[in-house]
Structure 1
Amino acid sequence: MAAAATPRVRRMPLWLGWTLALLVAAGFSALGHWQLQRARDKQALLAKTEQVLARRQAGPLSLAGAPDGLDWAAGHGRFTDAPPVLLDNQLREGRAGVRIYRVFQPLQGPPLLVELGWQPLPADRRLPHPPKPVQTEVSGLLMPPPAAGLAGHGAPAAQDGVLLALGLQPQALAGPLHAPGLAPRVLRLDPALPWGYPRDLEVLPNTLPPERHLGYAVQWFGLAIAVLATAALLTFRRRRAARAKIGG
């Protein structure tokens, strides 16, 4: 009985292989360009922060009504009776904790969230209950709120008289805080003020520095080059095998 013929494996056409390789390489290159842009944006933010902190020329708190930018601001007013907002998942010196925010109503301008500082969370995650500050004058760095992560877009949870939030979105917090017109920017309280909690003016907390984004960009571009190099090598080998077969 004759042996069954071995089925012939059909090779992918060269044009299709190169089309797939170019698409994958283009995708990797797009990710590399995105990481480069992230690095540039963060480097520009750091440079702007250094400039503002070097001058520390105080403007009015009403500047918080502008949606973007960095400004040093100072002014008088009062902290309202709105509950404190605890921003969860905040690391400081390797410890997990929360950043504490309270609503401040300046004499002029919209109410705004003021960051009072950071507090650690114990193992049982018992939330702190920071009292309302009695101070009537604040100063610090006005900036957009910390960027929310993938899980930071949910509604804040009310627990024992405080609001626990995964992301700081003034528009979403205006209702629970009974603060209509809450400013889109927040005030990072001056660490030199002798009240509040441990704090700093780090503008990229819990996020990647520009150098890491640059490193990721190099990796993505490297993968794009590797895909094209592999496609070129396979094409060369395939054509060499075809010539050898014809010559044989």
Structure 2
Amino acid sequence: MTRWRRPAWWSVLLTVAVAALFVRLGMWQLDRAAYKESLVRRYAAAAAAAPAPFAPVALAPPADAFPRVAVHGRWVADRVYLLDNPHHDARGGVEVYVPLALPGESRLLLVDLGFLPGSGREPAPRLPPLPTGEVNLHGLYLPPPGVGLELGGDALAAQARWPKTTIYLDLPQVARDLGRPLYPRILALDAEPSVAYQREHAFDFSSMPPARHRAYAFQWFSFAVAVVGIFLVLHRKRRPRRTDNR
């Protein structure tokens, strides 16, 4: 028969508190996974929707939504930005961004042309020429890529030649560099087989996809079980060893 030692009150309280904390963290990770899965579904629905007018969502895009919009304007073709660390870059290359001037608007719309593979021998791939005159574009109106810790300050201001290269795309920094305000999001153009750019604008969960949140949830739940298991092992009485008196 298994016997148990009477635990101290503080050990019970500590075990319950730590196990409850781990369970709460696991539930939070499951909530984050569900939230990101809902974003993926909204993104997929938006990508299949018909383009809507840009003006209603230009300055106040709906939160957690990715409108597919139609817009027309002129390229600011001599102001090109190259993002040299896109998450899908496995062969070398850059993500290319160019401002678009809309008729009668002081703000510029930064447009993601797509990923341009490089040879690995050149500092940047050769950029296809942009058309002159007004162009009609359609794509998803997305939040800009995440910004990390960029050491050394404003990398764009230190560059005098175009195109300019950056490892983080920070819209306020780009606006300062252009000397004109930008819209709060970027336009990620729809895929076109006839262009040189690879346009795979999947919503960026490369650092923390839903599956990783579920994995972390399992880890936290495992910690909670381990805490309870350790508590039970420490408070289980050991049977006294038999001695041989012969």
TM-score bracket relative to the smaller structure: 0.7 to 0.9
Root-mean-square deviation (Å):
3.2
Structure 1 range deviating more: 40-49 or 154-163: 154-163
User: Structure 1 residues 17, 193: closer, same or farther in 2, change over 3 A?
Assistant: same
Structure 1 range deviating more: 154-163 or 83-92: 154-163
Point out where structure 1 has 5 or more consecutive residues left out of the alignment.
1-12
User: Structure 1 residues 232, 166: closer, same or farther in 2, change over 3 A?
Assistant: farther
User: Structure 1 residues 142, 215: closer, same or farther in 2, change over 3 A?
Assistant: same
Secondary structure in 2 matching 1:89: coil
State the percentage of identical aligned residues: 34
1:4-59: CA deviation from partner (whole Å, max 9, x where unpaired): xxxxxxxxx94554555455445534442342233122211111122222222322
1:176-196: CA deviation from partner (whole Å, max 9, x where unpaired): 12222x011111101137435
Secondary structure in 1 matching 2:52: coil
Which aligned pairs between 1:188-207 and structure 2 lie closer than 5 A? 188-192=188-192, 194-195=194-195, 197-204=197-204, 206-207=206-207
Give 1:148's aligned residue. 147
> Residue 177 in 1 paired to residue 178 in 2?
yes
Q: What is the Cα deviation at residue 230 of structure 1?
A: 1.5
Secondary structure in 1 matching 2:58: helix
Secondary structure in 2 matching 1:187: strand
Q: How far apart are the structure 1 equivalents of 2:216 and 2:189?
A: 33
Give 1:105's aligned residue. 101
Q: How far apart are the structure 1 equivalents of 2:152 and 2:59?
A: 22
One-letter amino acid matched to 2:41: A
Q: How far apart are the structure 1 equivalents of 2:33 and 2:180?
A: 35
One-letter amino acid matched to 2:144: P
| TM-score, length basis structure 2 | 0.76
> Residue 126 in 1 paired to residue 127 in 2?
no
Aligned residues: 227
CA contact (8 A) 1:59 1:71 kept: no
Secondary structure in 2 matching 1:95: coil
Secondary structure in 2 matching 1:100: strand
Q: What is the Cα deviation at residue 101 of structure 1?
A: 0.7
User: Structure 1 residues 108, 96: closer, same or farther in 2, change over 3 A?
Assistant: same
Q: What is the Cα deviation at residue 143 of structure 1?
A: 1.3
Which aligned pairs between 1:1-248 and structure 2 lie closer than 5 A? 14-18=8-12, 20-22=14-16, 24-60=18-54, 63-67=57-61, 68=63, 69-81=65-77, 83-92=79-88, 94-107=90-103, 110-123=107-120, 126-128=123-125, 130=127, 133-134=130-131, 136-149=135-148, 155-157=154-156, 159=159, 160-180=161-181, 182-192=182-192, 194-195=194-195, 197-204=197-204, 206-234=206-234, 236-237=235-236, 240=237
1:137-180: CA deviation from partner (whole Å, max 9, x where unpaired): 21111111122345599634455423323332212221012222
Q: What is the Cα deviation at residue 225 of structure 1?
A: 2.1
Q: How far apart are the structure 2 equivalents of 1:206 and 1:133?
A: 30
Structure 1 range deviating more: 145-154 or 104-113: 145-154
Q: How far apart are the structure 2 equivalents of 1:153 and 1:56?
A: 43
Q: How far apart are the structure 1 equivalents of 2:88 and 2:67?
A: 24
| TM-score, length basis structure 1 | 0.75
One-letter amino acid matched to 1:220: W
**Structure (1 or 2) with the greater helix fraction:** 1
One-letter amino acid matched to 2:93: G
Secondary structure in 2 matching 1:233: helix
CA contact (8 A) 1:78 1:105 kept: yes
Point out where structure 2 has 5 or more consecutive residues left out of the alignment.
1-6, 241-246
One-letter amino acid matched to 2:174: L
